[in-house]
Amino acid sequence: MISATENSAWTLVVSKGQSRNPKKRELEQAVAEMGQQLEGVQVLVVPHLYDLPKGSESYKKLSELEGNLIVVSWIFSRAAHWVLDRNGIQGQIGEVLLASGEDDADEATEDAASVEEESNGESDAAQRVTDLYPRTSRTIHCIDLKLTDQSDRIRSEIERIIQVAQQAATTGGSLPIVGGQLVQIDEQTNRRWYPVIDFDRCTNCMECVDFCLFGVYGVDGVENILVEQPDNCRKGCPACSRVCPENAIIFPQHKAPAIAGANTAGDEGFKIDLSQLFGAPSKGEDPIEVAARERDEQLLLAGRDTVGIDDQLQKRQADRKQSPKDELDRLIDQLDALDL
């Protein structure tokens, strides 16, 4: 059994996918077995992290771990990081260099990267939640299994991550060697659908609380935004992700990469539809109108009255348009200029 006192410096967490695809199961197993062979690494195999409830055995086990984590899962690495964070498994985002290696991804992501680079020239004054509440110094490296079907490539990346950390270690000592442990937790999960907040982006503006009429969001004891009732979220509804001014709301299982948590800079090598950044579902559509329509669809399905673009939403959006140009406005202008 893995315990806090027996922690090695690194734990490889293998988060199993939702599908029963045998190829996916094989890759998960190959990665777990490979991890066992690595010096100083213990392996924990759990069901799909997104589907697990907070009080699950898997999260209890994860919360006992004190060292750095390498997490492999079938969702975007940004999504995996913030799924863990909402469940109390917190740390700094660890670098992952593994990319899909597909040529056609490069061109699409270069545009996005250049947009982000240009915007970085301007200072962003907005304070993020993690500026106010910094996470602990342990690193969590999330690897997206969709990037490759070769366990060797994943092994190389894991070895690289550990090597870089060892070289950077100020103590000069080598990491304790505990390798070879493998713990597998099999617990029943159901497919879930709820928003996950990227607190490196969130400015605590409360737009999502006001917009969602299903009581999903709330605030914690220090008035920070919180996904309070995740299972109140309507399956398939991504509406609030379109109204979040910071593109901070992730639905890890959504088919659009921009909503599912792909990095806008595209550094995971995925082709990203730039028109979907900041909520626009496709070219020419107003994200706020689409969000209001999607919310109405869910209200109707729930047997409630529709609200359309209500006065409050209209006022907030109007205020936003009148406010001085900020980084987001500049990004949108640059996306428009790309003429997608």
SS3 287: helix
CA dist list (Å): 135 to 218, 302, 313, 338: 21, 38, 32, 36
Q: Of residues 84, 96, 202, 258, which one binds ligand SF4 by CB under 6 A? A: 202
Minimum distance, C-beta of residue 159 to ligand SF4, in the bound complex (Å): 36
Does 249 help bind ligand SF4 (rule: CB under 6 A)?
yes
Amino acid symbol at 257:
P
Stretch that binds ligand SF4, among 95-103, 134-142, 241-249, 320-328 (CB under 6 A): 241-249
Stretch that binds ligand SF4, among 59-67, 117-125, 145-153, 209-217 (CB under 6 A): 209-217
Does 196 help bind ligand SF4 (rule: CB under 6 A)?
no
Stretch that binds ligand SF4, among 11-19, 40-48, 169-177, 207-215 (CB under 6 A): 207-215
* Identity of the residue, 268 or 294, whose beta carbon is nearer to ligand SF4 in the bound complex: 294
Minimum distance, C-beta of residue 261 to ligand SF4, in the bound complex (Å): 13
Does 233 help bind ligand SF4 (rule: CB under 6 A)?
yes
Secondary structure E strands in 74-197:
92-93, 139-144, 182-184, 196-197
Q: Of residues 98, 162, 216, 274, which one binds ligand SF4 by CB under 6 A? A: 216
* Identity of the residue, 152 or 228, whose beta carbon is nearer to ligand SF4 in the bound complex: 228
Does 214 help bind ligand SF4 (rule: CB under 6 A)?
yes
- How many helices and strands in the chain, by DSSP H and E? 12, 10
Does 158 help bind ligand SF4 (rule: CB under 6 A)?
no
Stretch that binds ligand SF4, among 54-62, 163-171, 199-207, 258-266 (CB under 6 A): 199-207
Say if residues 145 and 74 touch (Cβ distance below 8 Å).
yes
Q: Of residues 108, 182, 206, 309, which one binds ligand SF4 by CB under 6 A? A: 206
Q: Of residues 9, 99, 145, 212, which one binds ligand SF4 by CB under 6 A? A: 212
Q: Of residues 91, 94, 238, 261, which one binds ligand SF4 by CB under 6 A? A: 238
Q: Of residues 154, 208, 288, 290, which one binds ligand SF4 by CB under 6 A? A: 208
Sheet containing strand 41-46, strands side by side: 92-93, 139-144, 68-73, 10-15, 41-46, 182-184
Q: Of residues 30, 165, 205, 328, which one binds ligand SF4 by CB under 6 A? A: 205
* Identity of the residue, 240 or 274, whose beta carbon is nearer to ligand SF4 in the bound complex: 240
CA dist list (Å): 43 to 29, 130, 136, 148: 11, 29, 22, 20
Does 225 help bind ligand SF4 (rule: CB under 6 A)?
yes
CA dist list (Å): 249 to 84, 161, 246, 270: 15, 28, 8, 19
Q: What own/partner pairs with CB < 8 Å and gap ≥ 24 does 2-6 have?
A: 2/42, 2/44, 2/61, 2/64, 2/65, 2/181, 2/183, 3/64, 4/64, 4/65, 4/66, 6/178
Token pair of 30 as six digits: 């190959």
Does 7 help bind ligand SF4 (rule: CB under 6 A)?
no
**Backbone torsions φ then ψ of 62, nearest 5 degrees:** -60, -35
Q: How many residues bind ligand SF4 (CB under 6 A)?
A: 26
Number of Cβ within 10 Å of residue 228's Cβ equals: 13
Minimum distance, C-beta of residue 79 to ligand SF4, in the bound complex (Å): 14
SS3 223: coil
Say if residues 82 and 129 touch (Cβ distance below 8 Å).
no
By the criterion CB under 6 A, which residues form the site for ligand SF4?
195, 197, 202-208, 211-212, 214, 216, 225, 233-234, 237-240, 244, 246, 248-249, 295, 298
